[in-house]
Structure 1
């Protein structure tokens, strides 16, 4: 990635959650791979195919509350001991649908979409970092609420647990950006976005942070991303110990879920966090989802949030 960016060569990449596996593609290699990408400023397929499916079938089989509680209690134990302030705890859910991964990619509405044929698809609303004219910005998304609840936006902004979660991630990512940028500032705080889903509509809370890239990283995109990974919004704080907690509490491997992917056009960069993620494993589809846990979290609410995020944004 450093070599490509030093020579201003466009490329696309994916990096897994642990940042120990990556795939990097020139534009020609990406075309030959069969991978499809739909980003705000980069698309590989401008004419999505019709699915031919009028009545969408969608069934989810989340883990039991008792199974979820086992990992949740491990996380809470570490939070009470002060090992972490925020842990992003996730689970995988078997789903059954008459949609193929390709159908989902073509029809889902999201800011960022990617299809890796026969492996996974995601439809993410969350930017990781974006670079334009040597300005690097990030938009951590933390905190969700059912949009149908009366005064949902204000309740989300004022909820003690959600605020603590959001403040922690904003502070973490502001600190992360300061490793690769100067003049880091919080540009917009607690923006509320509306997300439509197949089950229920949600409000999500985001903030905008930006800075000026340090000269040593301006032509070294790989080195810059290496300093920032894993992504703080899907990990927690502090990073090293929180990663240990996640690996202890979760009973599956995330793989590319909650990793990042992005496109470098030869000058600027756009990347996203790979959430809202469906993976094909031995012919079965698994949806991976979760949320941030603090010492104020309660089991029932977090279990419901994990389930609420199991959806496809197709209308």
Structure 2
């Protein structure tokens, strides 16, 4: 049977919604869905006029989600602590036993620091409308929350949202942007000072690793569509996580990141140590040589081992057992390659997602070791607000959750693009080499913006 076109699917969905009032609701959260014909998700998302807008695609799964509107939104600004956040999370997740209900969002890198407006220290939404692809199956989904409004009100709100849906349109082609200015924070001179501080023996003895990062602000001649930019980025790094959150027309946070924070299926948890970087070669022989040099490099292999051990130590109290690769392998991206170790755990009964996030985030790959002293140094010395950069972004539901670490990311504002990159600083790190690593990590996104 052929899946219906969008217009027919909308009619079918509308009919299902109108009949809801005749059926008793078992859960406070109601989900209604219809199967539809294939639709390009990012193009569909970019064509909609409703906010918020979000997109999610896993790194190694045949699943993709585009969503608009808000059925439930829980936002935490600068006056919330982890206990309150955890309680709110648990209360929300327990509203339904439906394994298909998903909350999408993110947690800032530093929940003790000032947060980005609109994004907050943490923000998760249950979208009003979702378009989900699983392999070759596409579904149009609506969510209703009758814990906060009557069923009649929710049906009316959902029908109104459906009436605003538009068909996908071709994405606006990206034009080569004219760079009107560039500002790096920290500056090159300040970067050298920070690395000298971190590698000073007295400091390094108690804090052996700090992941320093840089915000590169590009002033551009005209605004860039975040979804077109993400689609282009996606084409360059198909093996990465790809996601974006746009809570208003003014700002969008997009990411094409290689790093998983964790993937949970019931009590089985999968995570990784991703640290240590080199460039790709111009041919296969050179590429292998660079990879082998990375595997043989004492500084990078030590950095990856530190990350692995910290993750294992954090998971042990939450798990019945933890297994981790003894030796690193190579994880390749379009412009760079990383050292990688897989880690698996069986969580103890009753351990929830927020406990895992609290334990693992920020990872040593984006914060440092020990976690507290490294993050204290970053907060005091780095010179800008990381916000959701290096934060944890993804989704959770009752039986499954997945979060990525937003390390290759951009905050898009009118006539400005904020890019972010970081490098792990340990004993022996050299400012010139680490600054070059930052440039290498921005190479893909900069080439998209300036070489069209």
Give the TM-score band, short-chain normalised: 0.7 to 0.9
2:194 counterpart of 1:74: no
Residues 37, 68 of structure 1: CA spacing in aligned structure 2 closer, same or farther, 3 A cutoff?
farther
Residue pairs, 1:197-276, within 5 angstroms: 201-217=335-351, 220-276=352-408
Residue number in structure 2 paired with 1:125: 258
Residue number in structure 1 paired with 2:430: 298
- The question of whether the paired residues in 1 share the 8 Å contact of 2:198 and 2:204 is answered with no
Q: Which runs of 5+ in 1 are unaligned?
A: none
Query: Is 5-14 or 155-164 further displaced after alignment?
Result: 5-14
Residues 78, 58 of structure 1: CA spacing in aligned structure 2 closer, same or farther, 3 A cutoff?
farther
Residue number in structure 1 paired with 2:290: 152
- The question of whether the paired residues in 1 share the 8 Å contact of 2:204 and 2:427 is answered with no
Q: What is the alpha-carbon distance in structure 2 between the residues aligned to residue 250 and residue 42 of structure 1?
A: 45
Q: What is the alpha-carbon distance in structure 2 between the residues aligned to residue 42 and residue 76 of structure 1?
A: 52
- The question of whether the paired residues in 1 share the 8 Å contact of 2:195 and 2:429 is answered with no
2:231 counterpart of 1:106: yes
CA RMSD of superposed structures (Å): 3.2
Q: Deviations over 1:246-293 (max 9, x none)?
A: 123301110111110111243111110011111135642110111100
Task: Give aligned pairs, total.
Answer: 303
Q: Which runs of 5+ in 2 are unaligned?
A: 1-88, 113-120, 141-166
Q: CA deviation at 1:83?
A: 2.2
Residue number in structure 2 paired with 1:2: 90
Calculate the TM-score normalised by the size of structure 2.
Answer: 0.60
Residues 105, 86 of structure 1: CA spacing in aligned structure 2 closer, same or farther, 3 A cutoff?
same
Calculate the TM-score normalised by the size of structure 1.
Answer: 0.85
Among candidates 105, 109, 126, match of residue 17 of structure 1: 109
Q: What is the alpha-carbon distance in structure 1 between the residues aligned to residue 136 and residue 393 of structure 2?
A: 14
Residue pairs, 1:44-55, within 5 angstroms: 49-53=170-174
Q: Deviations over 1:177-226 (max 9, x none)?
A: 21322210114741212111xxxx21111111011011121xx3223322
Q: What is the alpha-carbon distance in structure 1 between the residues aligned to residue 317 and residue 419 of structure 2?
A: 33
- The question of whether the paired residues in 2 share the 8 Å contact of 1:38 and 1:113 is answered with no
- The question of whether the paired residues in 2 share the 8 Å contact of 1:128 and 1:260 is answered with yes
Q: RCO (CA 8 Å, sep 6+): is it higher in 1 or 2?
A: 1
Select the structure of larger CA radius of gyration.
2
Residues 264, 297 of structure 1: CA spacing in aligned structure 2 closer, same or farther, 3 A cutoff?
same
Query: Is 69-78 or 159-168 further displaced after alignment?
Result: 69-78
Q: What is the alpha-carbon distance in structure 1 between the residues aligned to residue 438 and residue 383 of structure 2?
A: 15
Among candidates 149, 156, 173, match of residue 311 of structure 2: 173
Q: What is the alpha-carbon distance in structure 2 between the residues aligned to residue 300 and residue 43 of structure 1?
A: 48
Residues 77, 58 of structure 1: CA spacing in aligned structure 2 closer, same or farther, 3 A cutoff?
farther
Residue number in structure 2 paired with 1:193: 331
Query: Is 179-188 or 39-48 further displaced after alignment?
Result: 39-48
Q: SS state of the match for residue 328, structure 2?
A: strand
